[in-house]
Amino acid sequence: MKKIFLLIMFLGSLYLLVSLFSYYPFDPSWFQATYPVFVHNKAGILGAFCADLLFFVFGAIAYFIPCCIFFFSGKYFLKVIV
């Protein structure tokens, strides 16, 4: 069970990194009044919402959050396997 949780955290951090790096300010999000038809974010509509929320709450430090999750979940995942 612990391995599955760590794997989900690892993959979730990759998803967040993709959504943050492909952030487009005019994608649909929590703080947009209009909803364009095409989403530019590579992680889709959910990635656009997550990236917008993380940038709104944390600013540029938002890039650091998934990196930390990625590092620590990978570290503990390898420790659990070995």
pLDDT in tens, 56-77: 999 999 999 999 998 888 888 7
What is the per-residue pLDDT for 13? 93
Question: To which H or E segment does residue 58 belong?
Answer: helix 44-58
Residues of the chain under the 50 pLDDT cut: none
Asked if residue 18 lies in contact with residue 43, where contact means CB atoms within 8 angstroms, the answer is yes
What is the per-residue pLDDT for 82? 66
Token pair 């930390």: residue? 68
Q: What global pTM score does this model have?
A: 0.84
Nearest to 53 by CA among 40, 69, 35, 65: 65
What is the Cα–Cα distance from 55 to 34, expressed in whole angstroms? 19
